[in-house]
Structure 1
Amino acid sequence: MKRFEYSGRSRQGKVTGKIQAASKREALLILRDKGIRVLEMKELPESILHKDIVIGNPVKLQHFVIYLRQFSTLLKAGVSVVDATNILSQQTESKYLRKALEQIETELREGNPLSAVSATHKKIFSPMYINMIKAGEAGGNMDETLDRLAEHYEKQHATKQKIASAMAYPIVVVFIAIAVVIFLLVSVVPTFVDMFADFGGELPAITKFVLGASEFMQKSWYMIVLFFVLLFLSISIIKRNKKTKYYFDYFVLRVPIFGSMMRKAVLARMTRTLSSLFSSSVPILQAMTIVEEVVENEVIGRVILQARDSLEKGQSITLPMKAHWAFPPLVTQMIVIGEQTGSLDSMLAKVADFYEKEVDNSTDRIKSLIEPLMIVVLAGLVGTIVISIMVPMFEIFNQVGKQ
């Protein structure tokens, strides 16, 4: 695809922008269909400076939720899917979503269904979105489906924000502690080395340790940087491989304090996603496959696949869950009730509501516990360095006083 920069006029007045198309002629046709009369157009050179390097989903969740809410409102007002896509492509603040919607609009005008067109933009539109849209198209309730999707992503975003806020404080304090310790070892401790050398006596063990750490930091600081780089790369490689990611996720769910909170967050995401898919009449086996992809945890994901196999054999989906430590009785019991009463979607929604509240409570408790703990750790690190310097200095002053 080539990139073009254009300026022209529409009913709203003068417009400028960029567009992707296979040729200049195609770009002109796309803009003409949008009611834009092009006055000037030039092709942008193929350069890395003009390429968008994106990792993960390039569209912010809040922008995507706004898009879903506005899309639903337009459809309820009687606007067609094509015209609604055109309007939203001009209104969204996300440039990535805007580009995707512009391309989707072109393909919609050619008679392609929204679900099929959206599937070509996998970085923006998840399998859950595509399958729910497909179900909405089949059932003729696209507006309700979009509202359900918006609600799902809003709650998912709120849960992620809660976890991020709980994790942010200890991470920030750890970085501050590391920065303070490095500053003291590199800038402060070396100023006392000559004084201690002139002292000539036997230095306390704590002072020897701190002086050794200071010398290592000054001479081999690159080893520490290399360690953190290798640690970051190792975690990235582990998380990309399904086999190694399983053990990483197992550790995350088992780690003290934070593990319980993470488990509740994963269960909330799983039950919320299943509830949304079932409410939109997505086939249950297909829904289980989608959840395994979006749950973002290999430990829970494997159990979901086992539950899917159990369902294919005509058994309850709760059999593998009951045998696994990660699933509390509340989850399995509510699913059993839902299966028996034919209200599985509402039962799962109640479980999701419960665990989302539990995540809120857990994050509040963790914040109240971590704050004093991190202060004590920071004070301990700085205090150790200060004491290692002060103890031999007191001995020097005592000797000078005796003389």
Structure 2
Amino acid sequence: MPMYIIKLGAPDGKILTREYEAEEPAELRRELEEQGYHIFDLRKRPVRGFLRRGFGRGKVKRSDLLLFNQEMLVLIRAGLPIIQVIDTVLEQYESGPLSAALKQVREDVKGGAALSTALERHRQVFPPLYTASIRAGERTGDLPVTIQRYIGYLRKMESVRKKIISALLYPSILVVVSIFAISLLLFYVIPILSTVFSESGSQLPLLTRLMITFASLVRSWSLAGILAVIPLIIAFRFWASGEKGRFLIDRFKLKVPYLGTVMMDYSLTNFVRTLANLLGGGIPIVEALHMSTGTLNNTYMEKRLAGAIKAIEEGGRISAGFEKTGIMPPLAVRMLLVGESTGALEEMLVGISEYLEETLEERLHLLTSAFEPIIMIVMGLVIGVIIIAMYLPIFKIAGTVG
């Protein structure tokens, strides 16, 4: 979304220079004038501003957003006015994207804007799901409950993310260490031993000659290989960033044996938990479905769910729409049907998200349990063959001397 730099006069007579995100400048101008601001100048921020935004105004970390909401919840429950709440929270953030956004939010709220409206203008910092939840809390008049629910949602999402990172950490370390060990042998150990063997003048075993030739080829062509691969990577990333490329890649990822199922479970866990949180906050089902779809991070799944959402908009049942997508587990579909029939859809969605999370944990455990010994065996065999190949001449020379 474009960023605009605006010079405006506040209702209290102050002259301010602010930055806002907006689809259309005319709409932004109208909103600010309705709040009592006088617009002196409005212009689109140049490209160099975009570069600064990429480094200095990026999205805040989920942990920072969690801490911000915890602090805000305590202050609101203490009975402080929203302006004082923002001022108090700002004391904890001297710099960074969150601080810059909150300063502008404070001015907007002072000018008469609703908190959700002020937050919505900073989508890089405050996700649409968050601003929608705040808006729902404002409508119901129970903002603390809304914030508490969002805090619980963030904690669960962060917990799932940490479990995945923890499960993949040890196999990743094994792969990195193994690659380092093999590279050390190919680029350092084998050349030294090769020189020693050539000076000895002895006939080398076939395995040793093959290994020395292979190591020599790797050293000779490694730089050329890297230079050749870089353009291919750039071209692939360019293709993958397009709509068709991303769709094909996302579909392929889900078809990878076992790994595809794990990725689908993770996406569905995020989707269902987000949907439950939005419904609990009082957001209508169709709006909640559209917003939750963005948490899938998979265009193939998003397109499958788009058909279900369209059917629901036309009056169809949620469970029937999800069943037609082919990506929701049968048990989850049955639980949705029960939730619709009993009027406890939110509670059933929470149950589905917990079921999917447990399934995800089990699959991750099985994956890492199988992956770790496979990595160790494969890398052990590779390193073992290299070492045997290079030690065979040593054994031969020692036998000759003996």
For normalisation by structure 2, the TM-score amounts to: 0.80
The 10-residue stretch of structure 1 (366-375 or 270-279) with the greater mean CA deviation from structure 2: 366-375
Residues 89, 22 of structure 1: alpha-carbon distance in 2 compared, 3 angstrom cutoff: farther
> Is the contact between residue 336 and residue 349 of structure 2 (CA under 8 Å) also seen in structure 1?
yes
**Matched AA of 2:115:** L
**Corresponding residue of 1:339:** 340
**Corresponding residue of 2:373:** 372
**Corresponding residue of 2:69:** 68
**Residues 201-253 of structure 1: per-residue CA shift (max 9 Å, x gap):** 4742x434422332123222223434664576466445533322223223333
> Is the contact between residue 331 and residue 351 of structure 1 (CA under 8 Å) also seen in structure 2?
yes
**Residues 171-221 of structure 1: per-residue CA shift (max 9 Å, x gap):** 2221221111111111110123245446464742x4344223321232222
The 10-residue stretch of structure 1 (259-268 or 188-197) with the greater mean CA deviation from structure 2: 188-197
The 10-residue stretch of structure 1 (354-363 or 148-157) with the greater mean CA deviation from structure 2: 354-363
**Corresponding residue of 1:188:** 189
Q: Distance in 2 between matches of 1:81 and 1:175?
A: 50
Q: Distance in 1 between matches of 2:146 and 2:218?
A: 58
Q: Distance in 2 between matches of 1:151 and 1:196?
A: 65
Structure 1 residue 118 displacement after superposition: 1.4
**Corresponding residue of 1:292:** 293
Counterparts of residues 158-173 of structure 1 (less than 5 Å): 158-173=159-174
Gaps of 5+ in 1: 1-19, 30-46
Q: Distance in 2 between matches of 1:134 and 1:376?
A: 55
Q: Distance in 2 between matches of 1:325 and 1:196?
A: 62
Please list every run of at least 4 consecutive aligned residues from structure 1 whose deviation after the TM superposition is greater than 6 angstroms.
Answer: none
> Is the contact between residue 269 and residue 357 of structure 2 (CA under 8 Å) also seen in structure 1?
yes
Q: Distance in 2 between matches of 1:301 and 1:56?
A: 28
The 10-residue stretch of structure 1 (276-285 or 227-236) with the greater mean CA deviation from structure 2: 227-236
**Corresponding residue of 1:142:** 143
**Residues 348-368 of structure 1: per-residue CA shift (max 9 Å, x gap):** 011111222233333333333
**Corresponding residue of 2:330:** 329
**Residues 316-339 of structure 1: per-residue CA shift (max 9 Å, x gap):** 233353244432101211112222
Identity of aligned residues (%): 24
Secondary structure at 1:168 match in 2: helix
Counterparts of residues 4-403 of structure 1 (less than 5 Å): 26=15, 51=52, 53-54=54-55, 58-92=59-93, 95-197=96-198, 199=201, 201=203, 203-204=205-206, 206-226=207-227, 229=230, 233=234, 236-237=237-238, 240-398=241-399
Structure 1 residue 290 displacement after superposition: 0.8
Secondary structure at 1:91 match in 2: coil
**Matched AA of 2:357:** E
**Matched AA of 1:375:** M
Q: Distance in 2 between matches of 1:137 and 1:147?
A: 14
**Matched AA of 2:96:** K
**Residues 349-394 of structure 1: per-residue CA shift (max 9 Å, x gap):** 1111122223333333333333322222221221121122123443
Q: Distance in 2 between matches of 1:167 and 1:56?
A: 30
The 10-residue stretch of structure 1 (84-93 or 336-345) with the greater mean CA deviation from structure 2: 84-93
The root-mean-square deviation of aligned C-alpha atoms, in Å, is 3.1
Residues 94, 384 of structure 1: alpha-carbon distance in 2 compared, 3 angstrom cutoff: farther
Secondary structure at 2:315 match in 1: coil
Residues 326, 333 of structure 1: alpha-carbon distance in 2 compared, 3 angstrom cutoff: same
Q: Distance in 1 between matches of 2:56 and 2:222?
A: 30
Structure 1 residue 157 displacement after superposition: 0.7
Secondary structure at 1:294 match in 2: coil
Structure 1 residue 28 displacement after superposition: 11
Q: Distance in 1 between matches of 2:322 and 2:99?
A: 41
**Corresponding residue of 1:15:** none
> Is the contact between residue 171 and residue 371 of structure 2 (CA under 8 Å) also seen in structure 1?
yes
Secondary structure at 2:327 match in 1: coil
Residues 143, 291 of structure 1: alpha-carbon distance in 2 compared, 3 angstrom cutoff: same
Q: Distance in 1 between matches of 2:98 and 2:137?
A: 21
Gaps of 5+ in 2: 9-13, 19-47
Structure 1 residue 128 displacement after superposition: 0.9
For normalisation by structure 1, the TM-score amounts to: 0.80
**Residues 289-340 of structure 1: per-residue CA shift (max 9 Å, x gap):** 1112222122321222111111122212333532444321012111122222
> Is the contact between residue 67 and residue 92 of structure 1 (CA under 8 Å) also seen in structure 2?
no
Structure 1 residue 137 displacement after superposition: 1.4
Q: Distance in 2 between matches of 1:320 and 1:295?
A: 17
Counting matched residue pairs gives 364
